[in-house]
């Protein structure tokens, strides 16, 4: 069967290829290039040149007004790339930023994209602004930028940048040991270069090769060839020890002084070794997975299901692009508090392997229902995750996934499945996911509920059950039209014990169809309008949802994107009750009118249900998130924000809920590695306040030193004395982690 699919893909794509050029750089001795942000003629005299001579946005592969030249050299162990971006210095946007600061997308930046395997599975992205601030990411093929870029991917490399009289210059020094690529001393990689800049406030993107905006696969268009000969492949052997400690203090009564506990020290060790250039083994003992920065609190007052938070732990982010699934089959934060974990990653020319094990000391147990989810935390469990992907051709991939969680005192959750990705033509793509689960509940009191799911009690009482999930999507993109047809199927007893699934018992079809144009005018740079329709049935064949959306999106003056969505639920069934004509209007506005100011506004007005009431009823909804980012200087920025939500009774001035979360952040970036910042937040729903100061030094992706604290108020004291800035509980913490390479 695999052979037939392979032949079919070759036939369908035999007449379809992207343009490409070959570049053979000269080899130099180590130490010839000094990474100081200056393109010295003496140092770079033997470099080959690559011109960025295509404007791909807003122009469509036209000759750009801005001149950009890239330089390439290499040694036995490093690749050297320089950029000379010509511009008026007064028009260059840039700030000194910490590593992987997403604010960099509002700066002038240069990109390097590598597809080292030449198979379009992913692109490795290295980005720098004119001050040498770094952002690196892994790009996969996805429908949106949010899903496409994984900024938790890291490449240990050097950059330096300088603003000069006629533009800016950036130098990259990239160790071959830091990039994944096939075994062998002679390499042929796919690559291209990009530059993002601004012309009279309008964002401009330049590339070193043409870009087809109609293609359904963006990363497939990194096709220029870079040939490197007789390089040295160095195997990494790395140790990552850390030492951490914290002191906590709290009050027993409102007017007591804070009493501090003894210092709680902690230490652990990470170990990473390259088995060969394609494979690495990573082990972590007693890992410290405390986050440097607190999660942005989400408003969950009207959510009937658990909310998903992004993964911020570096260990679980490395290599996990291969286990990203639409159906929620894997969710790394379900591994809550591991005592020990191992991870094997291997990527060859035709296959990829990911194998993760962990002993989780505090297991998360989540049950998905038809309308609600149930969450508990339990005892120890042992976790396995095995993922294998095979490339039948550049345009055909098939994969397998197995996850297992075995609980200490009995019970288990096993999940098995397959997935596939097929580029059927220049404009057409098909993907699928199919999973089966086999479960036996532990006997535990982790979840307390009298609810039942398809005849099975939610209480954990040793029941056996199994389920399935299906996902199919056909996606088409042309110059004028963008469409997809999706079918999702979650059986009533589908559960992913190492995943994130919050609703099941649904058969769900979606049709999305939009028209898009690129006028490339200052006031109208992009326009799209279309519709999305959803219909959902349960396994008992009763209607769950009929929803139709009208969507309008424009890009206009002041680097502004505006999206309006009219979401009309003609019919919705929730907890067995039928509701009709639920309409909401959603506005999303993102704007970066200048280097000093960026704005993000989300506004929803309409009608929704009070989902957490005993008998849910309709109400008048108003929610908005307003997040401005103000750059006061190249090194100082502030970001106040507010998230507000209310649901008002239809027939009175009373509210089902009414509250907000206010947050304020200030950061001073001394250089690319060292910063100090303070975050404060006040939550009116819980009536709690916290403030978190932090000093951080982060010279590379793994080495870090920070010292900071958390100061909180406790809501139980509010009746005795209400004060916005009262501190009832405090924590001081520090951590030093240093990467040792052998």
**pLDDT at residue 504 tops 50:** yes
pTM: 0.83
Paired strand residues for 169: 84, 162
Indicate the pLDDT class of residue 51, thresholds 50, 70 and 90. Answer: very high
Indicate the pLDDT class of residue 553, thresholds 50, 70 and 90. Answer: very high
- Nearest CA among 563, 580, 584, 583 for reference residue 572: 580
Q: What's the pLDDT score for residue 593?
A: 87
What is the average pLDDT score of the chain? 88
Residue 221, CB half-sphere, CA atoms under 13 Å: how many? Answer: 17
**pLDDT at residue 15 tops 60:** no
For residue range 111-141, what is the model confidence (pLDDT) as tens digits? 999 999 888 888 999 999 999 999 998 887 7
Q: What's the pLDDT score for residue 306?
A: 59
Q: What would the two tokens of residue 452 be?
A: 């039942």
Indicate the pLDDT class of residue 425, thresholds 50, 70 and 90. Answer: confident
**Mean pLDDT confidence for 668-691:** 90
**pLDDT at residue 372 tops 90:** no
The domain locations on the chain are 19-228, 303-504, 507-646
Residue for token pair 């058969």: 507
For residue 605, give the H/E element and its range.
strand 597-609
Indicate the pLDDT class of residue 314, thresholds 50, 70 and 90. Answer: confident
Q: What's the pLDDT score for residue 412?
A: 95
Q: What's the pLDDT score for residue 641?
A: 95
For residue range 431-453, what is the model confidence (pLDDT) as tens digits? 999 999 999 999 998 988 888 88
**pLDDT at residue 716 tops 70:** no
Q: Which of 78-82, 234-238, 566-570 has the lowest mean pLDDT?
A: 234-238
Encode 478-499: b = buried (16+ Cβ within 10 Å), e = exposed.
eeeebbbebebbbbbbbbbbbb
- Nearest CA among 44, 5, 708 for reference residue 424: 5
Q: What's the pLDDT score for residue 736?
A: 92
**pLDDT at residue 210 tops 90:** yes
Report helix, strand or coil for 716.
Answer: helix
The C-alpha atoms of residue 141 and residue 13 are separated, in whole angstroms, by 18
645/311: higher pLDDT: 645
Indicate the pLDDT class of residue 67, thresholds 50, 70 and 90. Answer: very high
CATH topology of domain 19-228: Immunoglobulin-like (2.60.40)
404/4: higher pLDDT: 404
Q: What's the pLDDT score for residue 664?
A: 94
Q: What's the pLDDT score for residue 4?
A: 38
């Amino acid at each position: 069967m695999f052979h037939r699919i392979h032949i079919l893909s070759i036939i369908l794509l035999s007449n379809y290829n992207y343009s490409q050029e070959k570049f053979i750089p000269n080899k130099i001795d180590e130490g010839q290039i000094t990474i100081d942000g200056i393109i010295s003629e003496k140092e770079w005299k033997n470099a080959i040149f690559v011109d960025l001579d295509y404007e791909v946005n807003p122009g469509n592969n036209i000759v750009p007004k801005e001149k950009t030249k890239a330089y390439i050299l290499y040694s036995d162990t490093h690749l050297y790339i320089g950029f000379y971006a010509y511009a008026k210095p007064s028009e260059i946007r840039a700030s000194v930023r910490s590593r992987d600061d997403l604010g960099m997308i509002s700066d002038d930046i240069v990109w390097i994209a590598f597809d080292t395997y030449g198979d379009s599975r992913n692109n490795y992205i290295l980005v720098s602004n004119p001050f040498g601030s770094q952002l690196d990411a892994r790009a996969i093929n996805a429908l949106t930028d949010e899903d496409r870029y994984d900024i938790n991917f890291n490449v240990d490399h050097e950059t330096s940048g300088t603003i000069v009289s006629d533009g800016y210059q950036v130098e990259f020094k990239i160790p071959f040991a830091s990039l994944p690529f096939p075994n062998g001393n002679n390499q042929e990689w796919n690559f291209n270069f990009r530059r993002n800049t601004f012309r009279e406030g309008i964002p401009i993107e330049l590339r070193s090769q043409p870009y087809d905006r109609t293609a359904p696969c963006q990363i497939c268009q990194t096709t220029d060839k870079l040939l490197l000969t007789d390089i040295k492949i160095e195997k990494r052997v790395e140790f990552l020890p850390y030492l951490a400690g914290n002191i906590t203090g709290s009050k027993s009564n409102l007017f007591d002084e804070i009493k501090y506990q003894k210092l709680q020290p902690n230490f652990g060790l990470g170990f990473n070794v390259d088995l060969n250039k394609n494979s690495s083994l990573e082990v972590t003992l007693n890992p410290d997975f405390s986050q440097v920065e607190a999660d942005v609190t989400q408003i969950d007052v009207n959510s009937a299901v658990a909310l998903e938070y992004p993964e911020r732990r570096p260990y679980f982010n490395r290599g996990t692009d291969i286990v990203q699934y639409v159906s929620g089959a894997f969710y790394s934060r379900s591994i809550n508090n591991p005592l020990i974990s191992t991870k094997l990653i291997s990527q060859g020319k035709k296959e990829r392997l990911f194998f993760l094990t962990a002993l989780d000391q505090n297991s998360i147990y989540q049950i998905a229902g038809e309308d609600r989810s149930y969450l508990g935390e339990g005892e120890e469990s042992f976790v396995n995750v095995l993922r294998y992907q095979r490339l039948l051709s550049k345009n055909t991939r098939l994969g397998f996934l197995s996850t297992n969680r075995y609980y200490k005192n009995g019970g288990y959750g096993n999940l098995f499945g397959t997935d596939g990705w097929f580029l059927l033509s220049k404009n057409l793509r098909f993907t699928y996911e199919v999973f089966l689960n086999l479960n036996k509940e532990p006997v535990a009191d982790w979840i307390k509920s009298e609810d039942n799911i398809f005849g099975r009690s939610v209480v954990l009482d040793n029941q056996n059950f199994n389920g399935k999930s299906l996902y199919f999507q056909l996606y088409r993109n042309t110059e004028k039209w963008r469409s997809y047809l999706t079918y999702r199927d979650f059986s009533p007893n589908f559960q992913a014990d190492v995943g994130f699934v919050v609703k099941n018992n649904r058969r769900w079809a979606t049709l999305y169809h939009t028209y898009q144009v690129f006028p490339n005018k200052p006031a109208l740079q992009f326009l799209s309008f279309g519709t999305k329709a959803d219909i959902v049935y349960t396994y008992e064949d009763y209607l769950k949802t009929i929803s139709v959306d009208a969507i309008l999106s424009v890009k206009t003056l002041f680097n502004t994107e505006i999206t309006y969505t009219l979401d009309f639920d003609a019919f919705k069934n929730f907890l067995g009750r039928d509701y009709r004509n639920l309409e909401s209007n959603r506005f999303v506005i993102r704007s970066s009118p200048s280097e000093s100011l960026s704005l993000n506004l989300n506004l929803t007005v309409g009608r929704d249900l009070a989902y957490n009431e005993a008998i849910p009823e309709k109400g008048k909804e108003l929610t908005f998130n307003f997040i401005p980012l103000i750059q006061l200087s190249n090194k100082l920025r502030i970001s106040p924000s507010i998230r507000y939500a209310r649901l008002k009774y239809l027939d009175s001035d009373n509210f089902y809920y009414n509250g907000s979360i206010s947050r304020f952040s200030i950061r001073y970036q001394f250089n690319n590695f060292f910063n100090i910042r303070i975050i404060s937040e006040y939550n009116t729903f819980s009536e709690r306040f916290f403030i978190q100061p932090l000093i951080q030094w982060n010279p590379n992706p793994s080495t870090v030193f920070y010292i900071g604290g958390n100061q909180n108020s406790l809501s139980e004291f509010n009746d005795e004395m209400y004060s916005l800035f009262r501190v009832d509980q405090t924590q001081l913490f520090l951590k030093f982690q240093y990467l040792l390479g052998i």
